[in-house]
Amino acid sequence: MIYTEFSFPNDSHIIWSLMIVTYPYISGIMAGAFGISALYFVFGIESLKPVSRFSLLVSFSFLLCATLPLLNHLGHPERALNVVIVPNHRSAIGGFGYIYSLFLVILAMIIWFAYREDMIRAAEAASGLKKRILTILLLWNQNLNDDTRQVDRQMVFILTAIGIPSMAVLSGYVGFLFGSLKSNPWWSTPLMPFVFFVSGIISGLALVLLLYLYLGWYGYLEKSYICLRMLCSLLWFSTAMYIVLEGVELLYFYYESSDAWFVISTLLFTKLKYSFFVLQLGIGLGVAFVLLSAMFTLKLEETSFAKMGAVAAVYLLFEVWMMRWNIVVGGQLFSKSYVGFREFHPQWLEKEGILMAIIFTLLPFLVLFAVTRFLSVRPTTEEAPEQITSSGSQAGENI
């Protein structure tokens, strides 16, 4: 049977647009940044020390803003809290409020313990409103001695260990929202949570790498070649994992050749031809992976290594955004008749338009800037000089 194009009458509108693209993008960055901190605080990877606490702040800033695009998307945002107050426990979204809140609380507590000493010192040096705010943040407790430092370190270790599964659930969770919908063959795959999780890790790593290079350049963070190399190694590994996952997913669809493959193949080779094959896989993933591979294959100067890493990170950030777009919007470009397709062209000034998406994507940076007014991006104050030597002993001073 050869079907001519037909869409169901209610299939003329895209319901989940740029806001639902933006949310997993932000939450993915949050997960990736937290992963870097966890590698240092829990698994003791010393080379990541220069960015360990800064990554916590990046993660926190993005987590704080993650729900904003969702709220903007809702038809009735004033009822949003009902998701937590009267949730449907059978719904995949029903658990969102709890998972999000749990991770937010854990992350806030980690930051509190990780920055306690810094905040005490800052409070002692500050005056006026800043001192008052810091005193409140410290919960009026400014005890500082070896015992309290020990407790702080232990708490950071324990909380970060608890935070890892919470972060993985929160990040992979959005993939589950899509993957569990049997109505949509492009979404309905058990690999979806892993695809979202790994791509989230990539975007978080890429952003922290870029910010690290930027802040290192301006002297806010210690330039450490070992740290940079470790970040790029992790980025390469995550990207390789992602290529395998994406490849297996597509191969599975193709090899199974079910009813779903007809609509998926048509979708990929018509509507998503440019955005999936050219922008996401070709320009985003392909170029970045070649760059990252070249960085570790060729003998590069540290400056060149850093520059190539930065370019690869930009490409990967673009790739992950395109992936979100192709999944979220791509999955709505065909009708549930499976034989009809539609167009989607986002507008600039609509409620869920391009401008709002840009604002919500940039907002976490503003929050990060505000947070760093109170919390230093540098590694632990007292250990900083020591740490610079240890992690930056082989460092290129000109990154």
Among 138, 181, 243, 314, binds another protein (CB under 8 A): 181
Q: Is the dihedral of CA 156, 160, 166, 171 positive or negative?
A: positive
100-109 burial code (b ≥16 CB/10 A, e <16): bebbbebbeb
Stretch of 5-13, 104-112, 208-216, 364-372 contacting another protein, by CB under 8 A = 5-13
Residue 151 CB: number of other CB atoms within 10 A? Answer: 13
Record the tokens describing residue 215, joined without a space. 């802040």
Distance between CA 392 and CA 299 in Å, rounded?
19
User: What is the C-alpha to C-alpha distance for residues 250 and 12, in angstroms, rounded to an integer?
Assistant: 27
CA 164/CA 111 separation, integer angstroms? 14
Only one of the segments 7-15, 56-64, 283-291, 341-349 lies at the binding site for another protein (rule: CB under 8 A); that segment is 7-15
Distance CA(319)–CA(280), nearest Å, equals: 5
Contact status: 101 vs another protein (CB under 8 A): no
CB contact at 8 A, 2 and 174: no
Q: Which of residues 161-180 bind another protein (CB under 8 A)?
A: 177
| CA–CA dist 308, 196 (Å, integer) | 25
Q: How far is CA 289 from CA 210, 276, 292, 312, in A?
A: 16, 16, 5, 7
Using the rule CB under 8 A, is 353 a contact of another protein? no
214 interacts with another protein by CB under 8 A: no
CB 230 within 8 A of CB 47: yes
CB of 183 to another protein, least distance (A): 4
First to last CA, the chain: 61
Tell the smallest beta-carbon distance from residue 24 to another protein (Å). Answer: 15
Q: Considering the rule CB under 8 A, would residue 339 count as an interface residue with another protein?
A: yes
Regarding 18 and contact with another protein (CB under 8 A), the answer is no
The yes or no reply on residue 126 touching another protein (CB under 8 A) is no
Shortest Cβ distance from residue 174 to another protein (Å)?
12
Minimum CB separation of residue 166 from another protein in Å reads 19
Nearest approach, Cβ of 1 to another protein (angstroms)?
Answer: 5
Q: How far is the CB of 18 from another protein (least distance, A)?
A: 14
Cα Rg, the chain, nearest whole Å: 22
106: left (phi > 0), else alpha (psi -120 to 50), else beta? alpha
- Residue (88 or 141) nearer to another protein, CB: 88
Q: Please, which of residues 318-337 interact with another protein by CB under 8 A? A: 332, 335-337
# binding residues, another protein (CB under 8 A):
42
CB closer to another protein out of 26 and 377: 26
Query: What is the DSSP annotation of 216-243?
Result: HHTTSS---HHHHHHHHHHHHHHHHHHH
Is residue 343 close enough to count as binding another protein by CB under 8 A? Answer: no
Q: Where are the beta strands (DSSP E) in 275-325?
A: none
Q: Which of 83, 268, 295, 323 binds another protein (CB under 8 A)?
A: 83
Q: Is 256 in the site for another protein (CB under 8 A)?
A: no
CB of 327 to another protein, least distance (A): 12
Q: How far apart are CA 89 and CA 69, in angstroms?
A: 23
- Rounded to a whole number of angstroms, the minimum distance from the CB of residue 103 to another protein is 18
Q: Which of residues 35-74 bind another protein (CB under 8 A)?
A: 73-74
- Give the range of 92-100, 130-138, 146-154, 378-386 binding another protein by CB under 8 A: 92-100
Binding site for another protein (CB under 8 A): 1-4, 6, 8-13, 15-16, 73-77, 79-80, 82-83, 86-88, 90-94, 96, 177, 181-184, 332, 335-339
